[in-house]
Copies of this chain bind each other. A is one copy, B any other.
Amino acid sequence: MKRVIGFGEIMLRLNPKNYLRLVQATELEATYSGAEANVMVSLANFGVDAAFVTKVPKHEIGQCAVNELRRFGVDVSNVIRGGDRLGAYYVEKGASQRASKVIYDRAHSSISEAKPEEFDWSLIFKNAGWFHFTGITPALGDNATAATLEAVKTAKELGLTVSCDLNYRKNLWSKEKAGKVMSEIMPYIDVCIANEEDAADVFAIKAENSDVTKGQLDKDGYRSVAAQLMNKWPLKKVAITLRESISANDNKWSGMLYENGNAYFSPVYNVHIVDRVGGGDSFGAGLIFSILSGYGSQEAINFAAAASCLKHSIEHDFSLMSVSEIKNLADGDASGRVQR
């Protein structure tokens, strides 16, 4: 299977144990993650040769981030050392009607201040077949935007498939800025992953008859969003995740894959949430793996949705599920019976 390269930020994630609020916590769980890093870990778990490109400071906290990637099998030989700090974010897990909360402290991180010329994309992409990033990476700053653009251009030149999860982050840039920058990048993308809000936030592409705070879903609406994206850019596939939020503990979760004018919907899962951060990333990983494996459209969206459904049962950002565990669910066994 082809080598996959991810590019983005990896941060220190700090969260209180269980359902404690941050103001109650005297200890924080410390893990290391980020949207693209999460995808690479999932892929490495699936047996894919996955490498992550980023920049981290030389001190121990930077090393911790590298170690966490290595631990789960991601190739870190293209991680650059230097700069001032590793970004951090605080997560407070919600429950019932209380929402989860994420506080970012990522400004001035090593990767956000890395210069475009620090990345030798021709070298990085050697032997690789796929390049993945999310809308967070160019949002980190002008240097990061430039590096991303250079990366996608080089990737296309070298014949890699390029995937992007729109992942709009309002704390990083305005909708206007996002729209402008992402419009420059979109022409180089083959596979676009999004949720309904992303498309609306970044490109003002909206589905009708759907209100996410009410948790209603409308298949036609999603189909329409995908079609609009495809019309605008030379995408080969658009995949959209569909979350209906019943409460902070319970969500409905499914996905749609749109290609060749057809929309393929996965089953809808009732997920009882352990940790939903990283849910979208595991969907992206499932999709990339499906495509690399040559799955058909329905099989692909089913695998991606099952992969991300299962992510919700795992603490922290990384999805640590095997291909066989995911296939078991995609094949219909959602009973959660003990396996001895």
A residues sitting closer than 8 Å to B (CB atoms) are 14, 18-31, 59-61, 63-64, 67-68, 70-73, 84-86, 88, 90, 92, 94-105, 107-108, 169-171, 212-215, 245-250, 269-274, 276-277, 306, 309-310, 312-316, 320-321, 325, 329, 333-340
Closest 8 CB pairs of A and B: A248-B336, A71-B71, A245-B335, A98-B313, A95-B313, A22-B60, A96-B272, A102-B340
Distance A60 CA – B95 CA, assembled complex (angstroms): 17
Distance A337 CA – B253 CA, assembled complex (angstroms): 13
Distance A95 CA – B320 CA, assembled complex (angstroms): 13
Which one, B29, B90, B170, B338, contacts A99 given CB within 8 A?
A: B338
Distance A70 CA – B66 CA, assembled complex (angstroms): 11
| Cβ contact within 8 Å between B96 and A271 | yes
| Cβ contact within 8 Å between A340 and B27 | no
Q: How far is the CB of A70 from chain B (nearest CB, A)?
A: 5
Using CB atoms, name the residue of chain B closest to A30: B28
Distance A92 CA – B133 CA, assembled complex (angstroms): 32
Pick from A85, A245, A336 the residue with the most CB of B within 10 Å: A336
Which one, B26, B274, B314, B336, contacts A30 given CB within 8 A?
A: B26
Q: How far is the CB of A211 from chain B (nearest CB, A)?
A: 10
| Cβ contact within 8 Å between A60 and B21 | yes
Q: How far is the CB of A117 from chain B (nearest CB, A)?
A: 24
Which one, B97, B105, B274, contacts A95 given CB within 8 A?
A: B274
Distance A85 CA – B63 CA, assembled complex (angstroms): 23
Using CB atoms, name the residue of chain B closest to A20: B315
Distance A18 CA – B29 CA, assembled complex (angstroms): 13
Distance A63 CA – B106 CA, assembled complex (angstroms): 19
Distance A89 CA – B247 CA, assembled complex (angstroms): 32
Distance A312 CA – B19 CA, assembled complex (angstroms): 11
10 more contacts with CB within 8 A, not counting A61-B105, A212-B337, are: A18-B315, A22-B60, A26-B30, A70-B73, A88-B88, A96-B271, A96-B309, A97-B309, A98-B310, A245-B336
